[in-house]
């Protein structure tokens, strides 16, 4: 077997969602900026399976395979970061575990019968835990030692200069178009629904239909649904063929999705549980108002949304949407920019350089 060069850190990326892949790329880049040599390997996606128990098993086996292969090829000592508790369940050797949530919270009942006890053992064996948020830390079983944990949020940054100004569409200055922030937003509302049930798309659509009924003179306004296609939503009975006021755009490249955010006035969601809320935080970074419910889970965007405008957080999604569209707080985007400072790339780089990398290099991981 060919052997690769030495690496300080190996990141084993589950990469089962776009958000997880972006989070792993950001961590690798941050470690490199801190001076580390980083290898990142991604698990091969398994075939779809009918239950969460089987799905997690398949992903855990795929993560073990890619981790073992990379460890056999890398020369010298290497610290291993398993990205997600699922990636760590069948690890070939102990390492750091980074996670947005634990199965204790997002795999209740029969969905996590084998994952939860094994996860507890892996978390106890890990020399360091890297939760994405304080909320994820609070969901850990038992009371982890402070010296064995480091909260490390995923960096959230505007996707274009001026995108957080709150009024602009997205054009690319490199193509001779006006900068973000210089044109009115032409999409009334947007949502992300790669997992429609978990994201509460049924509740979002119900609220949007009520909004359209109350705003007939402006019925041309639309809700853009990203992450799911129209045929998928029609088969699930969530939208009618050719439904007025709803446009499903399917799965998009990150650049195309963020371009839509920069054109949208409101990001609306109604998750049944939220493990972090990357989509909501990105929407805030790109100047959207956030309309959401108070979902359980380590929902990092929820306290920010409440502080920015409590009128937009609650179970009355239709009422909150109408408020966001007709009576937005004039300084919302600027306050959102300030609130997102702890999630910035510079803040993450400081944590990685000052706290994470020294621990990775000094401990026998």
Structural domains of the chain, ranges and CATH numbers in brackets: 9-155+344-362 (3.40.50.2000), 163-342 (3.40.50.2000)
Interval 325-347: pLDDT, tens: 999 999 999 999 999 999 999 99
Token code pair at residue 264 = 């949208």
Average pLDDT over residues 103-112: 90
Residues 6+ apart with CB under 8 A from 139: 101, 102, 104, 105, 297, 298
Radius of gyration of the chain (CA): 21
* pLDDT for the residue numbered 177: 41
The confidence band for 162, taking pLDDT boundaries of 50, 70 and 90, is low
The confidence band for 173, taking pLDDT boundaries of 50, 70 and 90, is very low
**Placement of tokens 């128990």 in the chain:** 53
* Residues paired with residue 82 on neighbouring β-strands, in sequence order: 12, 97
* pLDDT for the residue numbered 174: 36
* pLDDT for the residue numbered 149: 96
Q: How far apart are CA 64 and CA 313, in angstroms?
A: 41
Percentage of the chain beyond pLDDT 70 is: 91
* pLDDT for the residue numbered 3: 45
Residue 2 has pLDDT above 90, yes or no: no
* pLDDT for the residue numbered 144: 77
For the chain, the average pLDDT equals 90
The confidence band for 363, taking pLDDT boundaries of 50, 70 and 90, is low
* pLDDT for the residue numbered 145: 79
Is the Cβ–Cβ distance between 157 and 345 less than 8 Å? yes
Residue 19 has pLDDT above 80, yes or no: yes
Interval 52-81: pLDDT, tens: 999 999 999 999 999 999 999 997 779 999
Measured between alpha carbons, how far is residue 172 from residues 108, 112, 175 in Å? 44, 45, 6
**Placement of tokens 């398949």 in the chain:** 58
More confident: 268 or 362: 268
The confidence band for 172, taking pLDDT boundaries of 50, 70 and 90, is very low
Interval 283-318: pLDDT, tens: 999 999 999 999 999 999 999 999 999 999 999 999
Q: How far apart are CA 315 and CA 296, in angstroms?
A: 13
Percentage of the chain beyond pLDDT 90 is: 82
Burial of 148 (0-12, 13-18, 19+ CB in 10 A): middle
The confidence band for 166, taking pLDDT boundaries of 50, 70 and 90, is very low
More confident: 239 or 176: 239
* pLDDT for the residue numbered 49: 94
* pLDDT for the residue numbered 316: 98
Q: How far apart are CA 252 and CA 175, in angstroms?
A: 21
* pLDDT for the residue numbered 362: 79
Residue 83 has pLDDT above 80, yes or no: yes
* pLDDT for the residue numbered 160: 86
* pLDDT for the residue numbered 218: 61
* Residues paired with residue 104 on neighbouring β-strands, in sequence order: none
């Amino acid at each position: 077997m060919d052997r690769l060069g030495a690496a300080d850190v190996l990141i084993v990326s589950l990469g089962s969602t776009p958000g997880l892949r972006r989070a792993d790329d950001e961590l690798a880049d941050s470690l490199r900026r801190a001076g580390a040599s980083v290898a990142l390997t991604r698990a091969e996606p398994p075939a779809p399976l009918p239950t969460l128990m089987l799905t997690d098993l398949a992903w855990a086996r795929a993560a073990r395979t890619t981790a073992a292969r990379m460890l056999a090829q890398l020369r010298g000592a290497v610290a291993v970061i398993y990205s997600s508790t699922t990636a760590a369940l069948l690890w070939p050797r102990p390492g750091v575990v980074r996670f947005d949530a634990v199965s204790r919270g997002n795999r209740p009942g029969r969905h996590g019968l084998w994952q939860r006890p094994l996860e507890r053992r892996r978390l106890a064996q890990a020399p360091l835990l890297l939760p994405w948020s304080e909320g994820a830390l609070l969901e850990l079983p038992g009371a982890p030692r402070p010296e064995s944990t480091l909260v490390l949020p995923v960096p959230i940054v505007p996707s274009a200069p001026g995108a957080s100004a709150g009024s602009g569409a997205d054009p690319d200055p490199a193509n001779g178009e006006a900068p973000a922030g210089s044109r009115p937003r032409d999409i009334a509302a947007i949502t992300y629904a790669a997992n429609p049930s978990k994201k509460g798309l049924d509740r979002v659509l119900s609220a949007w239909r009520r909004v359209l009924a109350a705003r007939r003179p402006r019925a041309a306004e639309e809700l853009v649904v990203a992450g799911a296609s129209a045929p998928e939503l029609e088969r699930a009975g969530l939208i009618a063929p050719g439904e007025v006021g709803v446009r499903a755009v399917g799965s998009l490249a990150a650049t195309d999705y963020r371009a839509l955010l920069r054109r949208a006035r409101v990001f609306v969601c109604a998750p049944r549980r939220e493990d972090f809320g990357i989509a909501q935080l990105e929407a805030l970074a790109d100047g959207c108002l956030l309309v959401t419910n108070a979902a359980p889970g380590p929902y990092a965007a929820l306290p920010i949304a409440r502080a920015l405008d409590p009128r937009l957080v609650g179970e009355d999604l239709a009422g909150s949407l109408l408020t966001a569209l007709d009576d937005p707080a004039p300084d919302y985007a600027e306050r959102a920019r300030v609130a997102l400072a702890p999630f910035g790339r510079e803040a993450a780089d400081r944590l990685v350089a000052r706290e994470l990398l020294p621990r990775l290099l000094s401990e026998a991981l």
